[in-house]
């Protein structure tokens, strides 16, 4: 119904910018790089839908739930796992993990945190009666014991090298057993109680969420008394709110707006290399995409450097394969995916390509720059002699096609590395029965399965190297870019974004510069 | 007011038919447009999960059954539970209504207070500078896309001049820019229509008579013109009021104003059937009520209509 895309805003803003209305508007107090503020205001592109962390995986929700709640383990912005509500853990044998829990932690309502909460919380995620939206997140678990209040023993069905990583991401937020059982799901969702650095105060939908600092937080009280989360859906007003100093941090800063934020004396751009890739996922069952040579040609005909430079203003890197930079088993010796249109034509000839139509069904702003990139890529493909076409589909149509696996050719996907490991990315999505299972190769499947259930990292490294090789011959995804996820931040805020969209406001990660 | 009760009964009956039709169309169109479940679950959720959640939400039942349940519930004022928020849809929509009324009423007030006098003055000073300037502005107001206008206001009046906040809801300063943006189109429409309605009346014989018998221009306008030009003005004003209350999708999105227009559009994207149905039903109901009030006001304004 609204045909207003981000693009149009940008055009509007560009026009106004040209008219001289824009930069260097701020002066005086806004230029201060220190602050006396006790309130952190964050603006994101969409509102929260639910507070119960087991009922949502949307990025707008988890930015909040990872701060109201804690996980047993915690993935910091540097990509490494750290203690959370568990202080240490070790693998005993192949399938048993023993977690030591943090003593003295209290829920926001004053109840003590114990292993009974952790057991209840994890079991709740896959309990059929609880009907959560994260039923598969921790389904490798067979059973859990809580022998004493500060010990948790988890038995997995098969060896699971990634259990501590799984517990750090969605589904792993620990909820309070006693409170939840007393008030029920709805009341808990309306008034959540966690152990995290902020506690819930009030929420007016699509207006603002108010949180206050938990003074007794085990990780130390954060450097603010209150945190306010606002939703400003359009990029232009979101940036205006930052430039005017109404908000301290904005999420989803489009790459072509970075210069405005960086060029303003009071604000800066803060980015994290996305823990994942933007890829064109391929329906490899549809001819001519069932022919690996055609897919190799498609990949070779994309000038990714130009896309990074022109469409992303340099805010991204060219991927080398299916594993995101920063993940376990990423191979730094692999070269970036090559651009060679001559070779692309050769492979098309070898493939016996007969000018069949090749489609990209693109969304608009499902991932940033999707439509623009699709148009650019199709132009590159046509130059290489491929009969390529773009079709635009709406987000929920994409969801439907995704479920029915009925895409006509290629479609945008932004596989997130949920576990900092290829298992949580390529194998989760491309594996047999996965949501992007359009292509099978016996050796690839054998290795993916073996790596999933092995606790021998050396073996896993070898398996992912070989899988990468098979991937680069078959291209079940055509990786396009690993972008930076940029935030606009006031200079008086010191904060490091997390590559996987967790938005951690904790003492180790956030501070106001004081005069 | 002879026959007012039958008139009322007739209107009420037609209103119910209209509401039933609107609800049915929304019900059918929403279900044709897609499934909410894949949007709720993580992208890697297996098919069995999707089936389970569909069954939980009652979406696995045949459409006629779902429709029967829906109609029965609506008759009792129950619009079901929001799929997205997991709370009663009616309560969700109710939470958004105050913001919508606040913005809609302000925009409407601004539009009427500014547009009617401008239209009147333009008609009385036809072809003057005032007439040309205000009708030119009205043309801009009618043709400038709301989106462009909103961003323009933010950049000029908020960011550059620093007069108002950029977005969000709060004290009265938060209200100015969205109300101006939202009211611009209505203002322009009302001003132009007021001008032409007044011009029409000013050409009438009885005005010539009034002037001929030596009445002052002020009296001519106040006593003879305004009341006779009122019907088209009240009609367009009423319709504009309905539109303003029906939710202002674009304005609310640009200014992140928490009103039902924004709720409606997000609920459509989320395929949150119950919330969409409830929003549309309430908007349609408001429209029906306003139309009814406009109809009744005709009777008050024009004795000829009353006697029919």
CATH of the domain at A161: 3.90.76.10
- Higher-pLDDT residue of B57 and B44 is B57
Chain B residues in contact with A22 (beta carbon < 8 A): 155
Which residues numbered 246-305 in B keep a CB inside 8 Å of some CB on A?
A: 249-250, 253-256, 258, 262-263, 265-266, 268-271
Q: Decide which of A134, A154, A177 is a domain's last residue.
A: A177
ipTM greater than 0.95: no
Q: Looking at residue B44, what is its pLDDT?
A: 64
* Positive or negative torsion for Cα B139, B141, B146, B152: positive
**Whether the Cβ atoms of residue A38 and residue A132 lie closer than 8 Å to each other:** no
**CA nearest neighbour of A72 among A41, A97, A46, A37:** A97
pLDDT attached to residue A139: 87
CATH number of the B97-257 domain = 1.10.3720.10
Q: Give the pLDDT confidence score for residue A440 in this predicted structure.
A: 95
Same domain? For A164 and A202 the reply is no
b/e burial code for range A22-39 (CB count within 10 A of at least 16 → b):
beebbeeebebeebebee
Beta-carbon contacts of A208 under 8 Å, excluding residues fewer than 6 positions away, are A228, A229, A230, A231, B168
Burial A221-234 (b: 16+ CB within 10 A, else e): ebbbeebbbbbbbb
Low-confidence ranges of chain A (pLDDT < 50): 1-31
Residue A64 is assigned to a structural domain of this protein: no
Q: Which residues of B131-145 are buried (b: 16+ CB within 10 A; e: fewer)?
A: beebbeebeebeebe
Element (H, E) at A479: strand A477-490
CB-based contact B52 A137, cutoff 8 Å: no
How many Å lie between the alpha carbon of B259 and the closest alpha carbon of chain A?
A: 8
Residue A196 lies in a domain: yes
Q: Give pLDDT tens digits for B131-163.
A: 999 899 888 888 888 889 999 999 999 988 989
Domain-embedded: residue A141: yes
Q: In A252-269, which positions are buried (b, 16+ CB within 10 angstroms) versus exposed (e)? A: bbbbbbbebbeebebbbb
Give A21's strand partners: none
Spell out the residues 6+ positions from residue A150 whose beta carbon is closer than 8 angstroms to its own. A100, A101, A102, A103, A114, A115
pLDDT computed for residue B246 by the predictor: 67
> Domain range for residue A423?
6-14+275-484
Residues A74 and A206 in one domain: no
| pLDDT for res B247 | 59
Q: Are residues A136 and A219 in the same domain?
A: no
Answer whether residue B39 shows pLDDT above 80: no
Looking at residue A6, its pLDDT comes to: 39
**Is residue A65 included in any domain, yes or no?**
no
Contacts of B98 in chain A (CB under 8 A): none
pLDDT of residue B3: 66
pLDDT of amino acid A9: 39
Minimum-distance CB partner of B159 among A50, A133, A240: A240
Beta bridge partner(s), residue A81: A75
Please indicate, yes or no, if residue A24 is contained in any of the structural domains.
Answer: no
Q: Which residues contact A358 (CB under 8 A, 6 or more apart)?
A: A288, A289, A294, A298, A381, A386, A387, A388, A389, A409, A410
The pLDDT value given to residue B51: 83
Judge contact between B28 and A119, C-beta under 8 A: no
Any domain includes A264 = yes
- A336: CATH: 3.10.105.10
- Predicted structure pTM score: 0.83
* Cα distances (Å, whole numbers) of residue A436 to A292, A339, B143, B290: 17, 25, 46, 51
Q: Per-domain residue ranges for chain B?
A: 23-75, 97-257
Does residue A78 sit in the same domain as residue A39?
no
For residue A126, give the chain B residue with the closest CA.
Answer: B49
Please list every residue in chain A whose beta carbon sits closer than 8 Å to the beta carbon of residue B152.
12, 16
pLDDT at A32 (0 to 100): 59
Residue B43: per-residue pLDDT: 64
Task: Give the C-alpha separation, A499 to A494, whole Å.
Answer: 16
Q: What is the predicted pLDDT for the residue at A209?
A: 96
Tokens of B77: 């004022």
Position A57 in a domain: no
C-alpha angle A482-A484-A485 in degrees, rounded to nearest 5: 120
Task: Clarify whether residues A429 and A306 are in a common domain.
Answer: yes
Most confident of A319-333, A395-409, B48-62, B198-212: A319-333
Alpha-carbon span A232 to A53, nearest angstrom: 22
How much of chain B exceeds pLDDT 70, in percent? 96
Tell me, yes or no, whether A360 lies in a domain.
yes
What is the total count of domains within chain A?
3
Q: Are residues A87 and A114 in the same domain?
A: yes
A511 token code pair: 């501070």
Average pLDDT score over residue span B245-264: 85
Nearest to A8 among B147, B165, B258 (CB): B147
Contacts of A43 (CB under 8 A, 6+ apart): A229, A230, A231, A232, A238, A241, A242, A247, A249, A250, A251
A293 with A439, same domain?
yes
C-alpha–C-alpha distance, residues A45 and A231, integer Å: 6
Structure-token pair, residue B11: 């209107």
Q: B306 falls in which pLDDT band (50, 70, 90)?
A: low
In this complex, is the C-beta atom of B34 within 8 Å of any C-beta atom belonging to chain A?
Answer: yes
Are A399 and B39 in contact (CB < 8 Å)? Answer: yes
The token pair that represents A491 in the structure block = 């200079």
Q: Which helix (H) or strand (E) holds B101?
A: helix B89-124
- Mean residue pLDDT of chain B comes to 85
* A221 shares its domain with A328: no
Higher-pLDDT residue of B35, A352:
A352
DSSP B61: S
Query: Can you tell me the distance from the alpha carbon of A97 to that of A90, in angstroms, rounded to the nearest whole number?
Result: 6
């Amino acid at each position: 119904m609204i045909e207003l895309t981000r693009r149009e805003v940008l055009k509007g803003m560009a026009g106004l910018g040209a008219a001289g209305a824009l930069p260097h508007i701020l002066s005086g107090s806004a230029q201060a790089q220190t602050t006396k503020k006790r309130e952190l205001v964050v603006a994101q592109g969409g509102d929260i839908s639910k507070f119960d962390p087991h009922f949502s995986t949307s990025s707008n929700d988890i930015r909040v739930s990872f701060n109201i709640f804690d996980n047993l383990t915690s993935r910091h912005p540097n990509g490494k796992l750290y203690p959370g509500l568990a202080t240490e853990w070790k693998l005993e044998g192949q399938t048993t993990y023993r977690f030591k829990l943090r003593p003295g932690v209290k829920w926001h309502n004053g109840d003590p945190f114990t292993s009974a909460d952790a057991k209840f919380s994890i079991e709740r995620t896959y309990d059929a009666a609880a009907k959560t939206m994260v039923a598969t997140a921790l389904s490798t678990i067979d059973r859990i014991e809580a022998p004493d209040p500060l010990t948790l023993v988890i038995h997995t069905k098969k060896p699971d090298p990634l259990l501590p990583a799984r517990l750090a991401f969605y589904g792993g937020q620990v909820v309070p057993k006693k409170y939840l059982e007393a008030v029920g799901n709805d009341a808990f969702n309306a008034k959540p109680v966690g152990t995290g650095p902020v506690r819930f105060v009030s929420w007016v939908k699509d207006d603002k969420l108010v949180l206050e600092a938990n003074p007794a937080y085990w990780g130390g009280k954060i450097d603010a008394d209150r945190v306010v989360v606002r939703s400003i859906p359009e990029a232009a007003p979101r940036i205006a709110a930052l430039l005017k100093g109404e908000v301290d941090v904005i999420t989803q800063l489009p790459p072509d707006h970075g210069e405005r934020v960086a060029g303003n004396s009071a604000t800066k751009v803060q980015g994290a290399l996305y823990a994942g890739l933007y890829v064109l996922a391929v329906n490899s069952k549809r001819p001519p995409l069932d022919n690996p040579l055609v897919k190799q040609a498609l990949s070779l005909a994309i000038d990714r450097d130009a896309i990074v430079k022109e469409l992303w203003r340099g805010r991204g890197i060219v991927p080398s394969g299916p594993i995101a930079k920063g993940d376990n088993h990423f191979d730094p010796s692999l070269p970036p995916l090559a651009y060679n249109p001559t070779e692309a034509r050769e492979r098309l000839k070898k493939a016996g390509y007969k000018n069949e139509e090749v489609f990209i069904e693109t969304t608009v702003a499902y991932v940033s720059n999707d439509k623009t990139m699709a148009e650019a890529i199709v132009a590159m493909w046509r130059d290489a002699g491929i009969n390529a076409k773009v079709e635009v589909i709406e987000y929920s149509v994409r969801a439907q096609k995704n479920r029915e696996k009925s895409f006509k050719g290629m479609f945008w996907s932004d596989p997130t590395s949920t576990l900092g490991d290829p298992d949580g990315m390529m194998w989760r999505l491309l594996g047999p029965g996965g949501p992007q299972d359009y292509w099978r190769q016996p050796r690839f499947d054998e290795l993916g399965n073996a790596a999933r259930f092995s606790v021998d990292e050396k073996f896993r490294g070898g398996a992912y190297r070989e899988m990468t090789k098979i991937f680069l011959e078959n291209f079940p995804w055509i990786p396009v870019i690993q972008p930076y996820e940029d935030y606009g931040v006031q200079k008086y805020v010191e904060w490091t974004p997390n590559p996987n969209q967790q938005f951690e406001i904790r003492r180790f990660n956030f501070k106001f510069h004081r005069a | 007011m002879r026959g007012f009760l039958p008139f009322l009964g007739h209107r009420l009956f037609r209103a119910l038919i209209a509401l039933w039709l609107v609800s049915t169309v929304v019900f059918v169109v929403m279900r044709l447009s897609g499934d909410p479940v894949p949007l709720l679950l993580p992208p890697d959720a297996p098919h069995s999960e999707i089936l389970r959640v569909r069954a939980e939400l009652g979406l696995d039942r045949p459409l006629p059954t779902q429709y029967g349940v829906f109609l029965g519930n609506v008759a009792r004022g129950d619009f079901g539970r929001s799929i997205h928020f997991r709370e009663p849809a009616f309560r969700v929509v109710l939470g958004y209504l105050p913001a919508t009324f606040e913005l809609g009423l302000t925009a409407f007030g601004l539009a009427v207070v500014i547009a009617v006098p401008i239209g009147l003055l333009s008609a009385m000073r036809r072809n003057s500078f005032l007439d040309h300037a205000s009708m030119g502005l009205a043309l801009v107001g009618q043709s400038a896309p709301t989106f462009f206008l909103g961003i323009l206001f933010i950049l000029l009046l908020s960011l550059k001049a620093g007069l108002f906040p950029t977005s969000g809801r709060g004290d009265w300063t938060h209200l100015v820019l969205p109300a101006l943006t939202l009211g611009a189109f209505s203002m322009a429409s009302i001003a132009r229509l007021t001008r032409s309605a007044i011009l029409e009346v000013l050409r009438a014989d009885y005005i010539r008579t009034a002037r001929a018998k030596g009445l002052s221009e002020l009296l001519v306008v106040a006593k003879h013109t305004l009341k006779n030009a009122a019907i088209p003005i009240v009609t367009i004003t009423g319709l504009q009021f309905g539109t303003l209350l029906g939710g202002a999708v674009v304005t609310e999105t640009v200014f992140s104003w928490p009103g039902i227009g924004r709720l409606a559009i997000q609920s459509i994207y989320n395929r949150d059937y119950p919330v969409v149905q409830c929003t549309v039903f309430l908007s349609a109901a408001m429209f029906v009520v306003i139309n009814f009030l406009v109809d009744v006001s005709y009777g008050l304004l024009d004795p000829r209509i009353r006697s029919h």
